[in-house]
Amino acid sequence: VEKVGPKIGSELRTKAIQAILIALVIILIYISWRFEFVFAVGAIAALFHDILITLGVFSILNLEITLAIIAAFLTIVGYSLNDTIVVFDRIRENVKILRRDNYETIVNTSINQSLSRTIVTSLTTMVVVTILYFFGGAVIHDFAFALIVGVLIGTYSSIFVASPIVIEWQQSRENKKKGKSVLKKA
């Protein structure tokens, strides 16, 4: 049996929050460099959504947040980010190919093209994590539960959180450009 005192527990919580925040900042920088800043904002919003919902489920079920759960949260961040980047990469490819279509149509087409891959990857991961949950023993039970929730939410957020943020941002940019061109003509 291992016990952690309140001072050490507070320090671990602070370090875990710092680790997640540092990871999010590095992710923001990387995606901004690899794609565009708007994609980075969409990805970070989706990751924040994933962690917040998983944390909420743990809170509702009154489950303890341990170092293993923090590791599960960071794993969820990596999994969800990978899924989001696959969709964003397809969007970037289709922007070049489907120039004549509007941005919303390009994003929708990109999501549809990557949807089967996303579902197959998520289902495969869910099989493994579910087996861990039921047969992995008490030590890994909460870790596997966090991953089950995270994979479900992460799959959802790559499609329904990250991409709509990119669309809204892009449409806002286009509306500003149209507004400036109307002002110049007047």
Least confident of 19-28, 45-54, 95-104, 123-132: 19-28
Tens digits of residue pLDDT in 115-132: 999 999 999 999 999 999
pLDDT of residue 1: 43
With a pLDDT cut of 90, the percent of the chain lying above it is 58
pLDDT of residue 19: 78
Tens digits of residue pLDDT in 93-102: 999 999 889 9
- Between 152 and 7, the higher pLDDT residue: 152
What's the pLDDT band for 3 if we cut at 50, 70, 90? low
Residue entry with tokens 């710092």: 18
Q: Rounded to two decimals, what is the model's pTM?
A: 0.83
Q: What is the mean pLDDT of the chain?
A: 87
Tens digits of residue pLDDT in 130-156: 999 999 888 899 999 999 999 999 999
- Between 67 and 31, the higher pLDDT residue: 31
DSSP the chain: -----HHHHHHHHHHHHHHHHHHHHHHHHHHHHHS-HHHHHHHHHHHHHHHHHHHHHHHHTT----HHHHHHHHHHHHHHHHHHHHHHHHHHHHHHH-TTS-HHHHHHHHHHHHHHHHHHHHHHHHHHHHHHHHHS-HHHHHHHHHHHHHHHHHHHHIIIIIHHHHHHHHHHHHHHHHHHHHHHH-
